[in-house]
């Protein structure tokens, strides 16, 4: 079997390479938004209302004369921040719940699985909408909401892996050797869960970006005038016949971001799968 590494994988998986390049471009655009953005994303110019794409405005302008390219670039900041941070928070909850339930079993596992099953019983987007309706919309509210909605599937995934790993010989050896439960969990079991956690995380980022856009589309996300892809699509739907670029460019940007993270997640699964032969 040929030795697998990330460079080899990206070299021979053109889709994964393209996805990685796209994600890097998104991240750089988000970080350098104040430098590369041609205009103030919130600057209203009533003399430039609904201008079609051209040299002055590459993506055109919206119903208030704001430059769409600038708003798309700044929107990347919101989408990537929420996607990454919500994934990190959901992973933190999911890992703790999954480790505790899978390792200790018994009543602890029963209670944690009950909470997990209740969370998974609700469609994630509907549950997120319900929480956002009760709470005040905003960046941190969206972040917490998506974390609370997304942790359960990760917990179940980690729990399943722990149930398999805790029966391994090296775990038994740790118990016989007098290692504490914490030491066994974080030294022997958790490191072996990392591959599946990374795969789930890469896919979750794309899902959270899409969920944030959906909430913003419904006017339940980050409040305007902050530029978000979902809100831009929502505002542009009223002008699909007269100025379709208002919704098309944010929509294409969102679609490309989600597809890129999903493709990278698939590539990570291929790379980290020990049974994969290249």
Q: What is the mean pLDDT of each run of 10 residues along the chain (278 residues)?
A: 54 80 94 94 91 93 94 94 94 93 90 93 88 86 93 92 85 77 85 86 91 91 88 92 94 95 83 53
> What's the residue count for the chain?
278
What class, spelled out in words, does domain 6-35+67-272 have in CATH? mainly alpha
Answer for the pair 230, 213: CB distance below 8 angstroms, yes or no.
yes
Q: Can you read off the two tokens belonging to residue 268?
A: 């990570």
Burial track 151-164 (b if 16+ CB lie within 10 A, e otherwise): bbbbbbbbbebbee
CA–CA separation, 268 vs 199, rounded Å?
6
Taking the CA of residue 75 as centre, how many other CA atoms within 13 Å lie in the half-sphere pointing to its CB? 29
Residue 4 DSSP label? P
What pLDDT does residue 10 have?
A: 64
Phi/psi at 90 (nearest 5 deg)? -65, -40
Helix (H) / strand (E) element for 115: namely helix 106-121
What pLDDT does residue 188 have?
A: 83
Answer for the pair 62, 249: CB distance below 8 angstroms, yes or no.
no
Q: Can you read off the two tokens belonging to residue 145?
A: 């909401």
The three-class DSSP label of residue 61 is strand
Residue 209 DSSP label? H
Angle between helices 14-31 and 245-272 (to 10 degrees): 120
98 CA to centre of own chain: 20
Positive or negative: CA dihedral 274, 5, 194, 29: negative
Give the residues across from 61 on adjacent strands: 67
Residue 238: Cβ within 10 Å count: 12
Answer for the pair 222, 216: CB distance below 8 angstroms, yes or no.
yes
What pLDDT does residue 1 have?
A: 36
Angle between helices 14-31 and 68-104 (to 10 degrees): 110
256 CA to centre of own chain: 13
Positive or negative: CA dihedral 254, 258, 263, 268: positive
The three-class DSSP label of residue 13 is coil
Q: Can you read off the two tokens belonging to residue 17?
A: 């390479």
What pTM was computed for the model? 0.88
Domain ranges (residues) in the chain: 6-35+67-272
What pLDDT does residue 273 have?
A: 59
């Amino acid at each position: 079997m040929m030795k697998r590494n990330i460079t080899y994988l990206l070299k021979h998986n053109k889709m994964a390479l393209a996805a990685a390049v796209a994600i890097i471009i998104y991240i750089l655009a988000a970080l350098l938004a104040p430098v590369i953005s041609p205009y103030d994303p919130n600057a209203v110019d009533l003399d430039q209302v609904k201008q079609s794409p051209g040299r002055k405005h590459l993506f055109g302008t919206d119903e208030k004369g704001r430059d769409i390219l600038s708003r798309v670039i700044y929107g990347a900041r919101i989408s990537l921040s929420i996607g990454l941070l919500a994934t990190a928070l959901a992973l933190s909850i999911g890992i703790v719940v999954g480790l505790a339930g899978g390792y200790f079993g018994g009543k602890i596992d029963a209670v944690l699985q009950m909470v997990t099953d209740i969370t998974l019983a609700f469609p994630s987007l509907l549950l997120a909408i319900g929480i956002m309706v009760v709470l005040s919309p905003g960046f941190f509210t969206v972040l917490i909401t998506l974390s609370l909605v997304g942790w359960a599937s990760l917990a179940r995934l980690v729990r399943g892996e722990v149930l398999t790993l805790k029966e391994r010989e090296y775990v038994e050896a740790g118990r016989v050797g007098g290692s504490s439960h914490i030491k066994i969990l974080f030294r022997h079991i958790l490191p072996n869960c990392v591959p599946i956690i990374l795969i789930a995380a890469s896919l979750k980022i794309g899902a959270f970006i899409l969920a944030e856009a959906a909430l913003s589309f419904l006017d339940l996300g980050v409040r305007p005038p902050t530029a978000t892809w979902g809100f831009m699509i929502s505002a542009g739907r009223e002008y699909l016949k007269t100025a379709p670029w208002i919704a098309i460019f944010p929509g294409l940007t969102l679609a490309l971001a989600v597809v890129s993270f999903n493709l990278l997640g698939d590539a990570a699964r291929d790379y980290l799968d020990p049974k994969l032969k290249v």
